Every structure is written in C-alpha cells, then in structure tokens.
A and B are shown apart, each in its own frame.
Chain A
C-alpha cells in the first residue's frame, strides 16, 4: 500500500471524522425494486407500516384507477399506479412445485416488450420464513428466448397475504402477439449471509511456506496447493461444509488471497469470499477489487480468489482477512413453466435524428405501454450529461412527465463516441407509475423538440 504524503494524511484524518453508519442495503434494495419509482429507505418503521398497509387498501382503491386485476400492481407500485382498462390481461395461472405455488397473475403484452406480475406463496398459505429468490426468470416465445438487453424486475413481500409479488419486464426482439409465451421461473432458493467475520490468520506465515510471486495474468488456482495453510483456522458458518484458507500470492498489481470452498455447484451451496482485509496499522478495512471462482472438473472443492490492488508482500504481516459466508438453500427442485398467449398491444419503434445539448445525438425512440427508451450516442464524457427531459402528450391533451431509469453507456474503444440507452417510465400526475396505451400518445417532447407520433 502506498504511503500517504503529509497532506494526504491530514486529508485522511479529516475524512475519517465522517461517520457513515451501517445500513441494511439488501432489504432496501429489494424494497426499492418493489416500489422502484421513489427510493424507499427502511429506516422508518412508519414507512414499513405504510408499505404493508398498501395491501390492505387494495380493495378500497382498486375500483377507482385500476381495473380488477392482480392486487400486485398496487402492492408493487403503490396506490397511485395508473393502469388503464384493457391494458393488462388477467391470467391467474398457478402451478405448485414442492409446496411452493407460483401464480402468473397478469401480463401487459406489447409488440416490443412484455410486463408480467407473478406471485409466490407457500401452498399451505403460511408466510415464507424468508423471502425466496429465483435462479432464473425468462420469457420464451414459441420455446425460444427472444429477450434482448433490457430486463427490469421488482419484488415485494406482502407479509399480510403471505405472498411475494414480482414484476418483470422483458424487452423482446420480435412481436410476441398470438404466439405461445412461456414463463420459465426458478428453481427457488433462499439465501443466508453471515456477518463480516474477521480472522486471525498469519498471511505472511502462509506466504513464506512457498512464496508465490506471479505475473498479473498468471493463474494461481493450481499453485495454492503448494502452500501450507493447514494451521489457518477460519470461523465457520453453522454446521455447514468447511471452508479453509487456500493460499496467498502476490503479483505485479497487488495481493491475492484464496479460500478453498465446497463446490459452489452443489445443490446446498455454501460459498465464502474474502471481502476485505483489516489493516491493523490503521484499523481500517480495505475492500477487495473483485473476486473470482474456479473449480477443476470432478473436484469437490473450488478456489475463491480475491484480489487487492496496490497491496504488497510487505503489507502481509499487518493484514487480517475478513470473510462473508453465503449459504444457499433450495426451496424447489425445479423451475415453474407456465404457458399463455395474448394479443399484442401496439408499440412504436422509430428512427429519429435529434441533436441535443452536450453533444447528445438521439437515433431511436421506442414507445410501449410500459415506458419509452431513447438510444443514441454522445462524446466520451468527462462529465455525465444529464438525461434529456422527456414528456409524453396524450390525445386528451394531458402531458405526462417521465422519470429516467438508467443511462447506460457502452465503451468507446473504436470510435470517438459512446452509445447510450436511457429508459423512461411514465409518471402519473400523482407521481405514481403509469402504464398507457401507445395509440393514446400523440407526441413525445424530448428537451425542446416535439416529435409527433400520431395525428
């Protein structure tokens, strides 16, 4: 690790006075994916209560703005969601596997994309002890995966109803209307994570048993076996298969620390990562710069290797590995597959040639009932240009605002411009998520330019 100059040390001292309290990011991420239009922090019990009450309010509000579809729309998007009649197709198709029922509730099917809501619940109606995740969710058209780059998903556990609702969007490369659509989802599993566990391992002692000094691109997985790490005891996670210290190596870029873990492809999976090292000189944790896993064919153990850029051999006596264990328990043995068909709603996919401030060039506008997307290019950005303001004008004269979802840029390796994709969702006048019928859109305003969609 590089030494700090006196100036840097003073800056560090000042910045270290900034306290950043721990925060349950995982729960917040899952909750925000549910409500996704406005970041929801889980610091307030009142807000949690409010979210739970949304489910109870369904029966009251359903008649007002939303047709009688799955209650999941409001559980997921809040009671201000606007979903015009005849946009979503009620499906209510259920399938039970290993006492776990997946119900495909509703779908919005357009020529460009499909949005679905499904729910998960235990067949006996009792709440899941922990939220469950699905290994994979895909939408097949006549048996083939035709989804392209963009997928959105949200998830929310409605504890009162013992149901877990999930919303998924699939952007497709062909019109799904009239074709057999198959939702393939699962298998289901739940994940348990340990706290960050600090070990008392002497890394320099392991390194000295057989010093591994490598090139940055050299694979060390097979070389760690030459080191003697038998005396290094790690804290274990419950009564699960053992994880042991794999080895220590240095290369041109920094330090590598390896763990021997049970085969991660096993059904009941325990994995472990050295997420950081505690520097005993400063008392601070240094996060890893990435980790990778590999296992040889037929082996029962794998190597999980974490890299720490900038750390050197001389730092080893002062570093203590910090580990997080992840345990994955299967809930179902296989995936659910549910077929359905629906006519597709119109979408609009239009080439445009629009130059905006900051050198943004918009080449394509894609409009669907779920939202709209702009594609184009921009100069390599020293600073990130703001997403253009987009408004949607409806036939009845209403102007809808939009929220931008993501500004993704691709690399600029072979040109002097970067490609971007910006996704927008429609916002109702009460700031809720709105879905709409594309033929109701007469124009889209991008910045100060209005693009006519339909006369």
Chain B
C-alpha cells in the first residue's frame, strides 16, 4: 500500500500521508496565508483548517494531479472565507497589541491596498516565483487572465510601497531600480 505516491496515499485517506503533507507543505502554506491575511495567528488557523479540510475531503482529491496545488487552492479559499467572515462580523478590531503580526506597519498598509486575490498572486509570483501555468492550476483560471491580474496588482503594490520607510531602508536596491 505504501508503495504509492504521497498523492495516491493522501487520496486513500492514509494518516501518514497527512503527516507527510504537513511536513512538506505546512510552512510554505503558513507563509502564504500570512501574506494573504496579514495576520500571523489567523494564518495559523487557516493553515490548520486547510489540512483538515483537505484530509476530510481526501476522496475528492484526484491522484495524478498536484497535491501542492490542491492544498494552495484550499488555503486560498479558506483565507478568503476568513476575511469575508471577519468583514461580515464587523466586530471590534482584533487585539493586535496582544499578538504580534510580524508585519511592519508600512508594508501592512501597502498590502492592504490589494484584494486578497492580488496579495495571493503577488506572493506566489514574487516570493515563490511560480509560473503563470502553475498559478493557473492553483486558482483555476487561465494563465493569461492571471498574468493581467498580477500585473495590475504589482503596479498597485509598487506604487503603494514607493517612498515608504521600508523602501527607504533599502538604498542598495533603490539604486538599481531604474
């Protein structure tokens, strides 16, 4: 039974496959969720929920397709869902002072000019350096569509970051930005 790929064993509901998937993709997904949610502890919840959703629905995963892409897709929808719920609840803002978010105020402000999808695309492209073909698998949209959306997001974020203290702290990089 274990002579199968991780994908096949995950689709079979093997517990070990869940553990392996967490070891393989857990931290990258946590970083991904952190960038979308801009809140570290929400990101912890999101990544936990992602693996639980994925495992509970292992029979819906098709072996032969990318487990990584499937997990990223679930993580993305989980984050969007959490943000929507946060918005709907209209509760008092979370006590940010208690739990640090590990994001500087200037970068947070810039990221908040983007939609969750734009943050996800920028992170996937700029930090993970995924190709648009790979992103098409994750987001279920044509690569060309994602390229256009990414370009818009990139311009918007670059504008928002221009002149921020985060930028000014990086004179070396600024000198060759043209």
Q: From B62, which residue of chain A is reached at the shortest CB distance?
A: A411
Residues A32 and B48 in contact in the complex (CB < 8 Å), given A6-B177, A9-B177, A10-B161: yes
Query: Contact between B60 and A408 (Cβ–Cβ < 8 Å)?
Result: yes
Complex-state Cα separation, A290 to B40, whole angstroms: 26
Known A11-B122, A25-B22, A26-B23; judge A326-B16 contact (CB<8 A).
yes
- Let me know if A293 and B5 touch, CB within 8 A: yes
Evaluate contact between A14 and B166: CB separation under 8 angstroms.
yes
Question: Number of A residues contacting the other chain (C-beta, 8 Å)?
Answer: 81
B126 to A11, Cβ gap below 8 A? yes
CA distance A383 to B118 in the complex (A): 12
Contacts A10-B167, A384-B80 known; A291 to B5 CB distance under 8 Å? yes
B7, B53, B80, B154: the one within 8 Å of A8 (CB): B154
A20 to B37: give the CA distance in the assembly, Å: 12
Contacts of A2 in B (CB 8 A): 129, 131
Q: Are B1 and A135 in contact (CB-based, < 8 A)?
A: yes
Q: Does A16 contact B (CB under 8 A)?
A: yes
Residues of A near B2 (CB, < 8 A) are 264-265, 269, 271, 328
| A405 contact set on B, CB distance < 8 A | 53, 56
A454 within 8 A of B: no
Question: CB within 8 Å of A: which of B106-134?
Answer: 107, 110, 117, 122-123, 125-131, 133-134
In the complex, whether B14 has a CB less than 8 A from a CB of chain A is: yes
B68 is contacted by which of A1, A150, A263, A287 (Cβ under 8 Å)?
A287
Residues of A within 8 Å of B59, CB to CB, are 149-151
Residue of A6, A14, A28, A295 with highest tally of chain B CB at under 10 A: A14
- Bound CA span A406–B164, Å: 39
| Least Cβ–Cβ distance between A335 and chain B, in angstroms | 12
**Chain A: minimal CB distance from B56 (Å):** 5
A33-41, A70-78, A240-248: which lies at the B interface?
A33-41
Which partner residue on chain B sits nearest A15 by CB separation?
Answer: B127
Q: Are A406 and B68 in contact (CB under 8 A)?
A: no
Residue of A whose beta carbon sits closest to that of B177? A6
Distance A17 CA – B158 CA, assembled complex (angstroms): 15
A293 and B177 in contact, given A26-B22, A191-B16 (Cβ under 8 angstroms) = no
Contact yes or no, B23 A12, CB < 8 A: no
Rounded to whole Å, the gap between the CB of A84 and the closest CB of chain B is: 25
Q: Which of B117, B126, B158, B161 contacts A383 (CB 8 A)?
A: B117
For the complex, count residues of B whose C-beta is within 8 A of A: 85
List, in ascending order, chain B residues with CB within 8 A of A26's CB: 19, 22-23, 26
Say whether A440 faces chain B, with CB atoms less than 8 Å apart.
no
Give chain B nearest CB distance to A36 CB in angstroms: 7
Please judge, given known A-B contacts A136-B13, A275-B23, A407-B77, whether A309 and B130 are in contact too, CB under 8 Å: yes
Specify which of B5, B19, B25, B141 is in contact with A133 (CB 8 Å cutoff).
B19
Does the CB pair B51–A25 fall under 8 Å?
A: yes
A4 touches B126 (CB 8 A): yes
B80 touches A383 (CB 8 A): yes
- Residues from chain B with a CB closer than 8 A to the CB of A271 are 2, 20
A132 smallest CB distance to B (angstroms): 9
A29-B18, A136-B12 known; A18+B3 contact, CB < 8 A: no
Given contact pairs A29-B52, A253-B133, A386-B81, A289 touches B66 in the complex (Cβ within 8 A): yes
For residue A149, which residues in chain B have a CB less than 8 angstroms away from its CB? Answer: 57, 59-60
Contact A17 B22 (CB under 8 A): no
Query: What residues of A have a CB within 8 angstroms of the CB of B30 in the complex?
Result: 20, 23, 25
Contact of A189 with B by CB under 8 A:
yes
Residue of A with least CB distance to B32: A20
The minimal Cβ–Cβ distance linking B59 to chain A, given in whole angstroms, is 5
Contact at A264–B52, with CB atoms within 8 Å? no
Please state if A273 and B24 are interface contacts (CB–CB under 8 Å): yes
Find out whether the CB atom of A408 lies under 8 angstroms from the CB atom of B27.
no
Query: Chain B nearest CB: distance from A301 CB in Å?
Result: 12
Question: Which B residue sits closest to A36, measured CB to CB?
Answer: B52
Determine the chain B residues whose CB is within 8 A of the CB of A384 once the complex forms: 77, 80-81
Within 8 A of A (CB), among B34-55: 34-35, 40-41, 43-45, 47-49, 51-53, 55
Q: Which of B3, B15, B164 is within 8 Å of A135, CB to CB?
A: B15
Asked if A448 is at the interface (CB within 8 A of a chain B CB), the reply is no
* A18: B residues at CB distance < 8 A: 34-35, 102-104, 107
Q: Which residues of A contact B18 (CB under 8 A)?
A: 29
Q: List 6 A-B contacts (CB under 8 A).
A: A14-B161, A17-B103, A19-B102, A29-B22, A324-B23, A380-B140
Which of B's residues lie within 8 Å of A, judged by CB?
Answer: 1-7, 12-16, 18-20, 22-28, 30-31, 34-35, 40-41, 43-45, 47-49, 51-53, 55-60, 66-69, 77, 80-81, 84, 88, 102-104, 107, 110, 117, 122-123, 125-131, 133-134, 140-141, 154-155, 157-158, 161, 164, 166-167, 170, 173-174, 176-178
Binding site for B on A (CB under 8 A): 1-2, 4, 6-23, 25-26, 28-29, 32-33, 36, 39, 41, 43, 133-137, 149-153, 189, 191, 193, 253, 263-265, 269, 271, 273, 275-276, 284, 286-295, 302, 309-310, 324, 326, 328, 380, 382-384, 386-387, 405-408, 410
